[in-house]
Amino acid sequence: METEFTPFASLLGGGLIGLSAVILMASHGRVAGISGIVSRILPPAIDTKGLPQGLTFIAGLLLAAPLWFGFIGQAPVVTISSNMALLGLAGILVGFGAVLGNGCTSGHGVCGISRMSGRSMIATATFMTTGVVTVFILRHVVGG
Amino acid sequence: MHFFSTLFAGLFFGSGLILSGMANPTKVQNFLDIFGTWDPSLAFVMGGAILVTAPGFWFVQKRSTPFFHDMFHLPTRNDIDARLVAGAAIFGIGWGLGGLCPGPAVTSLPFATSGVLVFVPAMLVGMSLAKLTALPSRKTIPA
């Protein structure tokens, strides 16, 4: 299914994500990596000291969609696969891979690249590549 | 102030994801589908984020400490090891399969689409599993 190319909304939305990363660094000295923030408050070895901060950040994330709905009056377009087994597998791989590789799209892709981290550049290039290959197989080999 | 800063950071992050279209898994998969229905929007999201974050981090780190904490927690490692590459590779496969990564997945939870309700618990299990496999080699377990 095609989606509309939205350079301006995407650039502006990206800017908001950047603003969030700068706020978190300025206030708590933390990198805004969502996989890190979420996984630190999960067992085993829960980061109890960082728990209140982590939960508050996640509360903010969860508030965004209802507020958006309240202001705009309609939910944003969300189309997602209806294959639940596939999404379950995708979830496990995303969670496992992000923690194993110390970061996801936000931690490596935004914050890491902004810090000119070599590790983050390698990680971002790697997940972009396997993502492209996976979608190619999913849509053009298996589903094609 | 302490909690407001984190709450607003989360709120801006989620709003940015929704505004940029990244809460829509099909749009993310279309970015990765360069040989099909390619939608380059995600590159603009990363570009916009880096344009703000890079100078922002540089400016903030001219301070000796953050406003509400005693130190900056910056990743210090610069070695490229197998875990980093394997983890990123696995992450990318899951990202391609579902079109979701952790930020958009958590942000989309309130929409309660069945796909996200399956994806997020699975993601949390995956994270815990990775922590479990990583822990023993780094920490000594008390007897």
pLDDT (tens, 9 = 90+) of chain B, 143 residues, equals 788 999 999 999 999 999 999 999 999 999 999 999 999 999 999 999 999 999 999 999 999 999 998 899 888 888 999 999 999 999 999 999 999 999 999 999 998 889 999 999 999 999 999 999 876 554 445 55
Determine contact, residues A126/B132, Cβ cutoff 8 Å.
no
Split at pLDDT 50, 70, 90, the class of A1 is confident
Q: What is the three-class DSSP state of A48? A: coil
Domain count, chain A: 1
Residues A26-71 have pLDDT tens digits of 999 999 899 999 999 998 888 888 899 999 999 999 999 999 989 9
Tell whether B62 is within 8 A of chain A (Cβ). no
Tell me if A2 is assigned to some domain.
Answer: no
Q: Which two tokens stand for residue B89?
A: 């590779």
- Which contacts of A134-137 are long-range, i.e. CB under 8 A and separated by 24 or more positions? A134/B32, A134/B92, A134/B93, A134/B95, A134/B96, A134/B97, A135/B29, A135/B32, A135/B33, A135/B36, A135/B96, A136/B33, A136/B35, A136/B36
* Local structure of B110: helix, strand or coil: helix
In a domain, A135, yes or no: yes
d(CA A5, CA B31): 10
Rounded Cα gap, residues B84 and B137, in angstroms? 16
Q: Print the domain residue range for A76.
A: 7-142
pTM assigned to the model:
0.94
ipTM: 0.95
Domain membership of residue A131 (yes or no) is yes
Whether residue A121 lies within 8 A of chain B, CB to CB, comes out as no
Chain B residues in contact with A87 by the CB 8 A cut-off are 97-98, 100, 115, 118-119, 122
Residue extents of the structural domains in chain B: 2-138
For chain B, say whether A53 makes contact (Cβ under 8 Å): yes
Nearest to A105 among B56, B103, B119 (CB): B103
- How do residues A64-122 score in pLDDT, each as one tens digit? 999 998 998 888 888 999 999 999 999 999 999 999 999 999 999 999 999 999 999 99
In a domain, A76, yes or no: yes
Residue A75 lies in a domain: yes
